[in-house]
């Protein structure tokens, strides 16, 4: 099992504490969740606060395990400040993507660290294309890019079903943000990771096409 950095641990503990408070306190959950109507009233703090709330324990665990697996790569390559820029930048841009996508749906609500985690996920694969993961109950290592493709399939399914309050559109915005911020921080990745960058961009383009097709 890989070690965990202090900043990753603090982010995970913050998500756990705030999410469980939201599980137990309906008023707290309502005050800080992502909500189109309230954002139109300029309650912009929800763009960040909603990223520390989750629908249930499964949603929370999935996001935090993903963050745990991929955060160390970004931290090692970029350092803590750039890691935080990617995490928070992807969270905000992911939620802004959801805001504009659902702009005419005043009752639309969502929660989750999905945008931030997607940004870290895509950034780490861009940095270390050869990454392999050992997932629970699977005896063989899985290439990182395969995990990414599965993650995006899960996102597309969630957007199609719309059966929960998970911010699936934020996965899409967060992924784009993670890639662009990584390239801004370290432009040479454009050359060093050209092949995997192409795969990630094709995955995002296909997802984006499907996303806007669903909107029609």
Domain that holds residue 42: 6-215
pTM given for the model: 0.88
**Number of domains the chain is built from:** 1
203 within some domain: yes
Give residue 216's pLDDT: 60
If 0-12 CB within 10 Å is exposed, 13-18 middle and 19+ buried, where does residue 215 land? exposed
Distance, in Å, from the CA atom of 105 to the CA atom of 194, rounded to the nearest integer, reads: 38
201 within some domain: yes
Give residue 162's pLDDT: 57
Residues 104-149: pLDDT tens digits?
A: 999 999 999 989 999 999 999 899 887 877 666 666 787 777 777 7
1 within some domain: no
Residue 58: CATH number of its domain: 1.20.1540.10
Backbone angles phi, psi at 143, to 5 degrees: -55, 145
Give residue 152's pLDDT: 72
CA dihedral 100, 102, 106, 108 (to 10 degrees): -130
102 within some domain: yes
Mean pLDDT by 10 residues, the chain (216 residues): 85 98 97 96 96 94 91 95 97 94 91 93 89 70 77 67 62 90 95 85 76 65
């Amino acid at each position: 099992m890989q070690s965990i950095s202090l900043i990753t641990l603090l982010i995970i503990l913050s998500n756990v504490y705030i999410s469980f408070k939201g599980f137990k306190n309906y008023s707290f959950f309502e005050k800080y969740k992502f909500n189109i109507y309230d954002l139109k009233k300029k309650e912009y703090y929800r763009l960040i606060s909603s990223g520390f709330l989750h629908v249930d324990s499964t949603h929370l665990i999935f996001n935090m395990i993903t963050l745990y697996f991929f955060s160390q790569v970004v931290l090692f390559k970029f350092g803590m400040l750039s890691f935080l820029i990617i995490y928070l930048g992807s969270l905000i841009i992911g939620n802004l993507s959801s805001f504009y996508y659902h702009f005419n749906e005043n009752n639309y609500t969502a929660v989750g660290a999905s945008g931030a985690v997607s940004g870290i996920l895509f950034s780490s694969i861009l940095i270390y294309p050869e990454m392999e993961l050992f997932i629970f109950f699977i005896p063989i290592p899985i290439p990182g890019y395969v995990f990414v493709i599965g993650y995006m399939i899960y996102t597309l399914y969630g957007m199609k079903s719309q059966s929960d309050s998970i911010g699936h559109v934020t996965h899409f915005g967060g992924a784009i943000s993670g890639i662009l911020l990584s390239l801004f921080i370290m432009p040479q990745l454009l050359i060093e990771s050209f092949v995997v960058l192409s795969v990630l961009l094709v995955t995002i383009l296909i997802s984006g096409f499907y996303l806007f097709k669903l909107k029609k």
